[in-house]
Amino acid sequence: MNKAPNRTLFFYQGDKLITVKEGDKGRAIFRNAEQPLAELSTDDNQAGGLLATDQMGSVLVVHGSDKQP
Q: What is the DSSP track for the chain?
A: -PPPPP-EEEEEETTEEEEEEETTEEEEEEE-SSSEEEEEES-TTS--EEEEE-TT--EEEEETSS---
**pTM, rounded to two decimals:** 0.69
> What dihedral do alpha carbons 62, 65, 67, 69 form, nearest 10°?
-20
pLDDT of residue 3: 64
Q: Could you list the mean pLDDT of each consecutive 10-residue stretch along the chain, which spans 69 residues?
A: 75 93 90 90 80 91 68
> For 26, phi and psi rounded to 5 degrees?
-145, 160
